[in-house]
Structure 1
Amino acid sequence: MDRSDRSTLATLRGVHKQYGAVHALRGMELSLRGGELLALLGPNGAGKTTAIALLLGLLRADQGEVALFGRDPQDIVARRHIGVMLQDAQLPPTLTVGELLRQGASYYPAPREVGACAVVAGVDDLLRRRYGKLSGGQQRRVQFALALVGNPRLLFLDEPTVGLDLQSRQGLWRAIRQLVAEGCGVVLTTHYLEEAEALADRVCVMAGGRIVSEGSVDALRARVAIKRVRCRSRVGAEEAAAWPEVVEAGIEGGHLWIATARLEDLLRRLLAADAGLDGLEVRAAGLAEAFTEITNAARADAARAEAALEEAA
């Protein structure tokens, strides 16, 4: 296997999927590439789970094309090249970690060495422990090791760091970055937007069964008009929050921070209120602000379209 391959590994083209009257996907277009981490973000009901289930061969599209390594996702030849870490996993509690990994490896023609998987996932000291006796965070790391054991070219991670402490989360991030550097493609779904911001090469934001924004983290942040101002000031957060230019305000580490879409107006008002402020910083919006603005705009567009249809009828 060429681990430096950065070609397209999987695609959704014009995919529709409906559950009764609910349209889960509406003409979905998505490509997954080797050596890249794609963060697939969106509010509940946006269609993320359905899109991934189609790529894993767990569902069939009503319309459109789904390909995994150029094959039908239900083809066993294609499925042997993926690894999956789901949010909810039920594993035999009486088996040891080593037994689980060896069992997982037995399903693949060219698995990754069990000990190496354990080291990457940080569970090499747990190999003799029974899975059912582990903490929730330890079980999540074992599930990550199991996702790696088939030596995948494409890895699906669904909320991988839920239940992990900060040290374990950072260790998992390092492991994911290393896999991407080796040429593995990674699809990440997470509600921790700082996780997507730290890891993603490309972000796709979904709403209403479609991708409504796609690009690098920096590109998505640049689309958002909101800026974040931080300073030391005698102005309080409650006072600042009442100003018309302010979206949100708070105190963090002894500093006043303000989110605004009218930066120049805010700075004039802030300096008029406290000419002695210092440590002034202005930052672009984070991914969290970008995500909120993009999804709100998508909902507003959908509501206007629905109203137009009702009016036409």
Structure 2
Amino acid sequence: MQRPIRPNATFRLLLVGLLTGALGLLFVQLTSTTPVTTGGRSSEKVNLALRRTAHHLLRAAGDSTSTIAAVEQSNAQTYRLRLDHAFDYDRLPGLLQASFRVHQITDPYDVAVLNCATGALQLGYSVTDLTDNQTVPCRGRLAQAGCYVLRVTFATPPAATPQRTNAWPLLALVGALVGLLVIGWRQQTRLPPAAPLAGKTTDNPNRLQFGQSYLDVMGQTLISGTHQHSLTYRETKLLRMLVGHANEVLDRDHILKQVWEDEGITVSHRSVDVFISRLRKLLQDDPTVKITAVHGVGYRLEVS
């Protein structure tokens, strides 16, 4: 008995091409990144660095109990921290630079100490004053008790940091594509047009007549007498085999091999008996057809 056809070359090429393309898109989606402005110099890192600096300034002034105010961000490059206590300005450049190093912030910046009430610039310097080994302006001055605003302005906006995009939509698309390909594969593996078989009396190679019954191989349909029945793939394959060997005895092992095992499926003799019983019921409306059991051997489709 001829096996069900496998997908043809065109279908195989289409299958491989689509799966390769889908997997390629998925790989690109998972490995690609989208820049967002929350880079290496994040707001959180700057906030922590400024609070660390304020803490050490207060400790240097002998204050270990005062609360440090919240850091305010004016824009993407400017941060402000309110200082309500006197502090040693000479310590500020070194402490701030050390805090930035701790949090891996390397962008250039300017520092200004403003009067809270008037906003007037009291003291200030640029980080280049430190990196170029120059003298920081206004050193040697102690900020008297009062209210000050420490303003740090970075020279450039935050660097963009790559973030992965959500791959779930593409995963869903790939899953749907694979599902469609599986459906196409199954359509390709349906029973082929029937080869010449004993008992075929119609001009349609897919329609086998035996007795007063007809088997539509491609449609997996049995017409027995005045009744029409839908068959499963395995029932169609088994009945087609019986019709092809009408009035011949087929042993169970041969049936198992041709109907199941040629596709790598292993079942017991009991499965053959169950399928035969099902076909007998479907053929009971045709008095010219009968499936008989040959004890110890197998089955025979008897056609009058």
Give the structure-1-normalised TM-score. 0.20
Q: When you count strand as a share of all residues, which structure comes out higher?
A: 1
Give the structure-2-normalised TM-score. 0.21
